[in-house]
Amino acid sequence: MNQPPVHFTYRLLSYLVSAIIAGQPLLPAVGAVITPQNGAGMDKAANGVPVVNIATPDGAGISHNRFTDYNVGKEGLILNNATGKLNPTQLGGLIQNNPNLKAGGEAKGIINEVTGGNRSLLQGYTEVAGKAANVIVANPYGITCDGCGFINTPHATLTTGRPVMNADGSLQALEVTEGSITINGAGLDGTRSDAVSIIARATEVNAALHAKDLTVTAGANRVTADGRVRALKGEGDVPKVAVDTGALGGMYARRIHLTSTESGVGVNLGNLYAREGDIILSSSGKLVLKNSLAGGNTTVTGADISLSGDNKAGGNLSVTGTTGLTLNQSRLVTDKNLVLSSSGQIVQNGGELTAGQNAMLSAQHLNQTSGAVNAAENVTLTTTGDTTLKGRSVAGKILTVSSGSLNNGGTLVAGRDATVKTGTFSNTGAVQGNGLKVTATDLTSTGSIKSGSTLDISARNATLSGDAGAKDSARVTVSGTLENRGRLVSDDVLTLSATQINNSGTLSGAKELVASADALTTAEKSVTNSDGNLMLNSASSTLAGETSAGGTVSVKGNSLKTTTTAQTQGNSVSVDVQNAQLDGTQAARDILT
């Protein structure tokens, strides 16, 4: 009978290279051979689209069909799961019922297993006629999809695994030891299915792969019906790459979940878009990712990870590289929390990391050659080894840096409090917070260390050659030597404590300056002053520069020596030492004792 043409959004491309069955003519461009004892048969719709009358389902509702060859051409393929007299299809119009089925006995799942030695080529849509059913195409020798898709199929699976069945006929697992799946040319359209799974030892995506819920599992694995994955020993050569998206490839879905289990085999991904859900990526080898977008969370784990391009998440963005994590001019943006971690090294080569809430980086070593880390709330940088920062790290609230050693040539900024705790600290850049606390074994700073509120520096030894200061009180506590060659200034009280204090720059406390040491030395042209009181408590003091106060200058200790270049002056000057050798100028507007 003549059927009116069926209209589609896409031009439906496909045919099944038909089965060789005794007494049955060969269709043009033959492909699929169905084993006679299987019970399946070949037919065709009025418009010529091949129809497979699927085998009678078992007690579990699974129709298990076997083919020596299985290919879908551009006109498409219909899997007949219909029991009505005439059944509408999108690909073939009205078709007759499947004689292998009875009403109420339709298949829940259809397995099309290839037993021959040839790769399958799927160039068009596969449609389940009648009652919707899940479809598995299984070919251990590989599958190429170039314009394939599925209709009336809630869950479509392409796999190079061999089906393992339970005693009741239900699917127990797919066992993958070899084979690859390739997406070429016209790509894969899985948008008419609720879920699409690709399960193979290796997958290559050279075109667009569209789906709602996409799961890709790569490697030699046993994948159970409920999704559990256990590694198996593979056959033949180990793939160079487990999953590869070429320059023209990409995955576009509501949700993307990718797992690669083969140790040492890399994953190369580009253009992953899950606009409504999560992206979950896991690799036992190296993982390379360029450009991704998740409406939900993005979670990436791998042995060694390299990120580039734009990677954005509406939820949290978490990346864990076991041996290393490298960011190459990459923009990582999340509306919530950004978490980067590695047991090895994190390297940021340019780019920008932006978190709507918190940004947390933790590793053995952190090397920021350039770029920025920004968070609306808190930034936390944690390493057990070396940290090198040459970019910008900006926290809207709290900034915390904890490391074995720190080399800062960049900018560290906190809207509220900033805390730096490290071993050796070399600062040639800037550290700024509304409240700032620095703890180090040895501190060397030629840059700036500034607080909008209080400043607290603790170290074994400290050499300050740049600018350090606070709007409120500043305290510097050093168990060894404090060497000031720059400006150390407080708009409130400046308190210094060390075994040895050497000042060849400027020490200033607007309200008060208190310096306590076993030995204190000020160099010629140095300035030690306060608009209030200035107190020098030292067993041995040698003053060669300016020592001045708007209030009282008080010197206490065992000995005091002032050189010819010394200028000691205040409203009053009090010297309480056992031995004094005074040169230069000592002057008081009120009392000199």
472-482: average pLDDT: 98
Whether 18 shows a pLDDT value over 80: the answer reads no
Amino acid in position 440 = A
The pLDDT value recorded for residue 307 is: 98
Whether 118 shows a pLDDT value over 80: the answer reads yes
Distance, CA of 421 to CA of 403 (rounded, Å) = 7
The pLDDT value recorded for residue 295 is: 98
Comparison of pLDDT for 146 and 2, the residue scoring more: 146
**What tokens were used for 178?**
């070899």
Spell out the domain ranges in the chain: 1-153
Distance, CA of 8 to CA of 67 (rounded, Å) = 29
Q: What is the DSSP letter of 37?
A: G
Q: How confident is the model at residue 36 (pLDDT cuts 50, 70, 90)?
A: very low
Over the stretch 368-396, which tens digit does the pLDDT of each residue have? Answer: 999 999 999 999 999 999 999 999 999 99
CA angle, 484 as apex, 481 and 490 as ends, to 5°? 115
The pLDDT value recorded for residue 266 is: 94
The pLDDT value recorded for residue 46 is: 96
Q: What is the DSSP letter of 85?
A: S
Amino acid in position 121 = L
Distance, CA of 206 to CA of 250 (rounded, Å) = 7
117-130: average pLDDT: 97
Q: How confident is the model at residue 538 (pLDDT cuts 50, 70, 90)?
A: very high
Cβ distance 124 to 137 under 8 Å? no
The pLDDT value recorded for residue 246 is: 78
Whether 468 shows a pLDDT value over 50: the answer reads yes
Over the stretch 546-570, which tens digit does the pLDDT of each residue have? Answer: 999 999 999 999 999 999 999 999 9
Amino acid in position 141 = Y
Cβ distance 548 to 531 under 8 Å? no
Cβ distance 342 to 322 under 8 Å? yes
Count Cα atoms within 13 angstroms, Cβ side, for 390.
10
Checking DSSP bridges between strand 93-96 and strand 86-89, what pairing results, if any? antiparallel
Amino acid in position 589 = R
Over the stretch 225-263, which tens digit does the pLDDT of each residue have? Answer: 999 999 999 999 999 999 999 788 999 999 999 999 999
Whether 24 shows a pLDDT value over 50: the answer reads no
**What tokens were used for 514?**
């208190």
What string of DSSP letters covers 540-570? EEEE-SEEEESSEEEEEEEEEEE-TT-EEEE
The pLDDT value recorded for residue 300 is: 98
Average pLDDT, the chain: 93
SS3 of 225-252: the string is CCCCEEECCCCCCCCCEEEEECCCCEEE
Q: How confident is the model at residue 185 (pLDDT cuts 50, 70, 90)?
A: very high
Cβ distance 273 to 249 under 8 Å? no
For residue 155, what are the contacts with CB-CB under 8 A and spacing of at least 6? 134, 135, 193, 194, 195, 196, 197
pTM of the model: 0.89
Distances (CA, A) of 143 to 119, 123, 155, 184, 232: 6, 11, 17, 11, 20
Q: Which of 16-20, 167-171, 434-438 comes out lowest in average pLDDT?
A: 16-20
Whether 535 shows a pLDDT value over 50: the answer reads yes
How far out from the chain centre does Cα 459 lie?
Answer: 35
Cβ distance 138 to 114 under 8 Å? yes
Distances (CA, A) of 53 to 39, 96, 108, 320, 487: 9, 10, 15, 48, 88
CATH superfamily of 1-153: Single-stranded right-handed beta-helix, Pectin lyase-like (2.160.20.10)
Whether 462 shows a pLDDT value over 60: the answer reads yes
Distance, CA of 240 to CA of 342 (rounded, Å) = 24
Whether 10 shows a pLDDT value over 70: the answer reads no
Amino acid in position 2 = N
Using a 10 angstrom Cβ sphere, with 0-12 exposed, 13-18 middle and 19 or more buried, the burial of residue 579 is exposed
Whether 173 shows a pLDDT value over 60: the answer reads yes
Whether 511 shows a pLDDT value over 50: the answer reads yes
How far out from the chain centre does Cα 227 lie?
Answer: 24
Q: How confident is the model at residue 586 (pLDDT cuts 50, 70, 90)?
A: confident
The pLDDT value recorded for residue 591 is: 62
Whether 58 shows a pLDDT value over 80: the answer reads yes
Per DSSP, the three-state class of 78 is strand
Q: What are phi and psi of 38, to 5 degrees?
A: -70, -30
The pLDDT value recorded for residue 39 is: 72
Region for residue 191 given its phi and psi (left: phi exceeds 0; alpha: psi -120 to 50; beta: otherwise): alpha
